């Protein structure tokens, strides 16, 4: 709106403050800005005007031009935004949004609240036009206090209507320039609704040149069909003197703009254009481009719609879901949750999830269960999600419900946590059967583990007796052959104890088993290995050979004696098992000493365990190399696999080679050689 204060009289146009308020603004300008020729601001509050708060929502920004010492010309602007009427959406005064949720209306109201305290800023071109008009009026009026001169000035004002056409033309030209160069989209129509004003900004937004827009029907040719009815109503009201504000108008696009989007969305104020007789001759629309904001809101609305469609679907694939806000009040209770609990959605919404819903309507098993449930919800509010926590409650009929609870945080667009979403995983009949089978298998495994623990303990008891008897024999007078047999027995006993202590097979599977390092004689190892195969080979009538070089008897190396003995014995016993009766088995060792830089001597040992016949079954070989299903491994396959991995931990390798009429295990390891004065044959 605009106002002229001259000689104590007021001329008001459009939306302006009351005359007393304008007089108060003028007094404030003369008191606080007496040395200024005018003032422009987009917020009278920020400018320091004491009465800004009383002006209401219609006046926020102001531009004032001082004509004389006591006379002023004012322009007023409302807040940048107050209310948006989206086209195509119902606006029923009785509609109310749930204050605990974010809706399109409430979310956009929150956006508008940010800019409510300011008007559109005054552009440089607008201030130039105001200054030009100020100079024209100053040249026409003189400051006076006498009644006679006031009458003369009033007479001159009347004369200006007839004689000041040049000055008015200048003002009109300035206003036209202001409209054409304004950064806000401005368009105007005549009384028939045809375009007679189309500025550069609206031309830029729509892609329709000014010349092409002129004389076109606003409603029929330029406005998108979704806005046609609304714009036609606003136009009708404005032509009858009733001006609407903050109305959404969707304009069609042309040319390059058409390729980017189909419509441009403006929020406009409709101002009636009047002639000198105050008759309405057209309507001017001054707007703001809100296309970007509207697209964001449409996306938000679509997401909310998709969320509602999915979560509240009656499809059996949608799990039971409930949610709470940051204060713990229930905000979601979907149909699957209604079916599971027996509680309707309207019965639980707005109630405390812990205490009212779970605790009263749906009782938990104990206070401890309630405490754990509250901890899960609090953790989710702190950003720590919980997956598949066992959760039990009684439904409305008192029937127990066993589910798995997943609690996740709920965030807004800025990532701030606004509540908790909870999903309940219920078991289908098939899954329940599978779980029952799993529980049975776990029970059997637990029973087997107890049996194994019992067997381990019961073996250790007589083993202690064997150790005592052996140690007693060692302190008697023995021949060399007897001493060797006692030593072999001690090594086999030591191997058995190490195997009984292997409670954690995963350490072998994963490759982090700790190996011992000590000096030992290779001859003692081979005696122990061969002795473990003697009884089985004799029962099958097999011939068992051991071929070692002469220096082997005095060869001492560093390594894990018991583990090396264990893997060689296992490979030997498997070879014996799959050798046909009356066949043969041979164990051959080929040492290859070599000296490394720094004076360290190592020996590469190749153990070749050869046996007659077709060899081990192919499936057993696959098990040894872990090529078979882990659940289908036999005892022999598990043992071979473990032994291969132990050899790998020693930086060695195992191969199984088939040849015509015979097969053999080939085990290669490399161990540091121990230098002994009495082992001259071991020196290179």
pLDDT tens, position by position, 558-609: 999 888 988 999 999 999 999 999 899 999 999 998 888 877 889 999 999 9
CA distance 485 to 468: 16
Question: What is the sign of the dihedral through the CA atoms of 95, 100, 101 and 106?
Answer: positive
Which pLDDT band, with edges at 50, 70 and 90, does 683 fall under?
very low
**Structure tokens, 333:** 């209770």
More confident residue, 174 or 26: 26
Asked whether the beta carbons of 609 and 571 are under 8 A apart, the reply is yes
Asked whether the beta carbons of 242 and 233 are under 8 A apart, the reply is no
Please check whether the two domains, 2-78+119-173 and 312-426, share a CATH topology: yes
CATH number, domain 2-78+119-173, options 3.40.640.10, 2.70.240.10, 3.30.450.270, 3.20.190.10: 3.30.450.270
CA distance 163 to 681: 136
The pLDDT score that the predictor gives to residue 639 is 86
Q: Where are the alpha helices (DSSP H) in 121-224?
A: 124-140, 147-163, 165-181, 200-206, 210-213
Helix H or strand E encompassing 659: strand 653-659
**Structure tokens, 362:** 């749906």
Following DSSP, what letter does each residue of 522-564 receive, concatenated? HHHHHHHHHHHHHHHHHHTT-EEEEE--GGGGG-EEEE-HHHH
pLDDT per position as a tens digit, 48-70: 888 888 887 778 889 998 888 88
User: Does residue 463 register a pLDDT over 90?
Assistant: no
pLDDT per position as a tens digit, 202-257: 888 899 998 888 889 999 999 988 888 999 999 999 888 888 888 888 999 998 88
The residue to which tokens 């189909």 are assigned: 262
> pTM score > 0.85 for this model?
no
pLDDT per position as a tens digit, 483-502: 788 787 877 777 677 776 76
The pLDDT score that the predictor gives to residue 508 is 63
User: Does residue 445 register a pLDDT over 80?
Assistant: no
More confident residue, 284 or 303: 284
State in Å, rounded, how far the first CA of the chain is from the last one: 111
Q: Give the domain ranges of the chain.
A: 2-78+119-173, 312-426, 501-682
The pLDDT score that the predictor gives to residue 162 is 45
User: Does residue 388 register a pLDDT over 80?
Assistant: yes
Instruction: Determine how many CB atoms are found less than 10 A away from the CB of residue 459.
Output: 14
User: Does residue 682 register a pLDDT over 60?
Assistant: no
CA distance 559 to 643: 16
pLDDT per position as a tens digit, 89-135: 444 555 555 544 444 444 444 444 444 567 888 887 788 778 777 77
pLDDT per position as a tens digit, 253-273: 998 888 888 888 888 898 888
Average pLDDT of the segment spanning 133-145: 61
CA distance 233 to 231: 5
The pLDDT score that the predictor gives to residue 36 is 79
Average pLDDT of the segment spanning 341-362: 91
Which pLDDT band, with edges at 50, 70 and 90, does 506 fall under?
low
312-426: CATH superfamily: PAS domain (3.30.450.20)
Average pLDDT of the segment spanning 669-683: 63
Strand partners, 301: none
| Three-state DSSP state, 680 | helix
Domain 501-682 in CATH 3.30.565.10: yes
The pLDDT score that the predictor gives to residue 111 is 44
Average pLDDT of the segment spanning 75-88: 61
């Amino acid at each position: 709106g605009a106002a002229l204060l001259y000689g104590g009289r007021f001329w008001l146009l459009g939306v302006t403050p009351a005359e007393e308020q304008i007089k108060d603004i003028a007094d404030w300008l003369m008191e606080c800005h007496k040395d200024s020729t005018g003032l422009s601001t987009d917020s009278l509050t920020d400018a320091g005007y004491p009465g800004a708060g009383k002006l209401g929502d219609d006046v926020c920004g102001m531009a004032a031009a001082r004509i004389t010492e006591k006379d002023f010309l004012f322009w007023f602007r409302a807040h940048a935004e107050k209310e948006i009427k989206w086209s195509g959406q119902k606006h029923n005064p009785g509609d109310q949004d749930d204050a605990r949720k974010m809706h399109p209306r409430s979310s956009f109201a929150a956006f508008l609240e940010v800019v409510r305290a300011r008007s559109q800023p005054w552009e440089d071109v607008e201030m130039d036009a105001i200054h030009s008009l100020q100079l024209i009026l100053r040249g026409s009026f003189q400051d006076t206090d006498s009644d006679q001169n006031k009458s003369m000035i009033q007479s001159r004002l009347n004369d200006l209507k007839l004689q000041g056409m040049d000055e008015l033309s200048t003002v009109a030209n300035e206003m036209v320039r202001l409209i054409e160069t304004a950064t806000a989209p401005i368009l105007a129509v005549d009384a028939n609704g045809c375009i007679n004003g189309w500025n550069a900004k609206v031309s830029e937004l729509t892609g329709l040149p000014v010349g092409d827009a002129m004389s076109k029907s606003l409603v029929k040719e330029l406005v998108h069909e979704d806005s046609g009815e609304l714009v036609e109503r606003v136009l009708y009201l404005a032509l009858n003197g009733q001006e609407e504000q903050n109305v959404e108008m969707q304009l069609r696009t042309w040319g390059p703009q058409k390729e980017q989007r189909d419509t441009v969305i403006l929020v406009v104020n409709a101002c009636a254009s009047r002639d000198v007789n105050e008759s309405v001759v057209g309507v001017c629309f001054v707007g703001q481009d809100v296309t970007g904001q509207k697209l964001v809101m449409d996306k938000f609305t679509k997401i909310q719609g998709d969320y509602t469609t999915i979560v509240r679907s009656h499809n059996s694939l949608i799990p039971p879901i409930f949610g709470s806000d940051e204060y713990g009040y229930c905000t979601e209770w979907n149909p699957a949750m209604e079916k599971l609990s027996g509680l309707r959605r309207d019965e639980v919404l707005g109630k405390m999830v812990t205490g009212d819903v779970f605790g009263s309507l749906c009782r938990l098993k104990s206070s401890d269960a309630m405490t754990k449930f509250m901890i899960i919800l609090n953790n989710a509010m702190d950003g720590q999600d919980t997956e598949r926590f066992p959760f039990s409650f009684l439904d409305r009929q008192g029937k127990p419900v066993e589910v798995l609870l997943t609690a996740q945080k709920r965030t807004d667009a800025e990532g701030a946590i606004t509540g908790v979403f909870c999903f309940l995983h219920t078991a289908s009949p098939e899954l329940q059967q599978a779980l029952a089978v799993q529980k049975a298998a776990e029970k059997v495994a637990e029973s087997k583990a107890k049996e194994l623990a019992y067997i381990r303990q019961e073996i250790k008891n007589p083993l202690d007796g064997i150790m005592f008897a052996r140690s007693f024999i060692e302190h008697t007078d023995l021949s060399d052959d007897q001493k060797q047999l006692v030593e072999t027995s001690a090594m086999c006993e030591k191997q058995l104890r190490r195997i009984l202590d292997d409670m954690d097979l995963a350490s072998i599977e994963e490759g982090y088993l700790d190996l011992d390092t000590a000096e030992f004689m290779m001859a003692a190892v081979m005696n122990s290995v061969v002795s473990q195969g003697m009884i089985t080979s004799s029962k099958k009538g097999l011939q068992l050979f051991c071929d070692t070089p002469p220096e082997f008897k005095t060869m001492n190396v560093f390594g894990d004696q018991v583990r090396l003995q264990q893997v060689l014995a296992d490979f030997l016993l498997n070879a014996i098992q799959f050798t046909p009766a009356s066949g043969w088995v041979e164990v051959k060792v080929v040492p290859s000493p070599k000296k490394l830089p720094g004076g360290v001597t190592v020996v590469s040992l190749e153990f070749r365990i050869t046996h007659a016949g077709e060899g081990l079954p192919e499936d057993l070989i696959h098990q040894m190399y872990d090529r078979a299903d882990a659940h289908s491994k036999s005892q022999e396959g598990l043992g071979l696999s473990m032994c291969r991995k132990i050899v790998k931990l020693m930086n060695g390798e195992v191969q199984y080679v088939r040849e015509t009429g015979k097969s053999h295990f080939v085990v290669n390891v490399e161990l540091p050689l121990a230098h002994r004065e009495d082992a001259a044959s071991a020196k290179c």
